[in-house]
Amino acid sequence: EAGVAQSPRYKIIEKRQSVAFWCNPISGHATLYWYQQILGQGPKLLIQFQNNGVVDDSQLPKDRFSAERLKGVDSTLKIQPAKLEDSAVYLCASSLDWYEQYFGPGTRLTVT
C-alpha cells in the first residue's frame, strides 16, 4: 500500500514570497491533516479535513495560510506572504479511523 505522498520535499523562499505544498493521502482515507513541525518541537495541527469539509482550523493563521482539498482526495497548503517564523517542516497525514494517523515525509520550508 502506497503511503502519504508530499511534494516538494524541500523549498527555500524569501520572506514575503508565496509557496504551496501538495499532499496525496493514502487511497480511501477520508480524513486529511496538515501539521507544522518547527525544529526541536512536536508537530502542531494546522487544519483537518473530513472529505472536502474543514473539521478543525483553529490553529491555522488564516491571514497568511490557506488550504483546500478538492474532490476529497489531494490537498494543497499555501502560505502568502511567508514570514521567517514559517520555517518548519510541513507534514501531511491521513487516516481511515481516528486512532491511527499516517504521516508523509514532509516538506522542509526555509524562509530567508
Partner 1 sequence: EDQVTQSPEALRLQEGESSSLNCSYTVSGLRGLFWYRQDPGKGPEFLFTLYSAGEEKEKERLKATLTKKESFLHITAPKPEDSATYLCAVQAAENTDKLIFGTGTRLQVFP
Q: Does 48 bind partner 1 (CB under 8 A)?
A: yes
Q: How far apart are CA 24 and CA 87, in angstroms?
A: 22
Half-sphere exposure of 47 (CA within 13 A, CB side): 19
Span of 18-26, 69-77, 78-86, 100-108 interacting with partner 1 by CB under 8 A = 100-108
β-strand partners of 7? 22
- Output the nine-digit C-alpha cell for 56: 478543525
If binding is defined by CB under 8 A, does position 93 make contact with partner 1? yes
Q: Of the ranges 19-27, 32-40, 67-75, 77-85, which one interacts with partner 1 (CB under 8 A)?
A: 32-40
Alpha carbon 47 to its chain's center: 8
- CB count, 10 Å around CB of 5? 14
- Least Å distance between CB 65 and partner 1? 16
User: What's the grid cell of residue 72?
Assistant: 476529497
Q: Is 109 in the site for partner 1 (CB under 8 A)?
A: no
Task: Output the nine-digit C-alpha cell for 37.
Answer: 513541525
Residue number, 79 or 89, with CB nearest to partner 1: 89
Shortest approach of partner 1 to residue 81 CB, angstroms? 26
- Residues of this chain that interact with partner 1 (CB under 8 A) are 4, 31, 33, 35, 40-45, 48, 55-56, 91, 93, 95, 98-106, 108
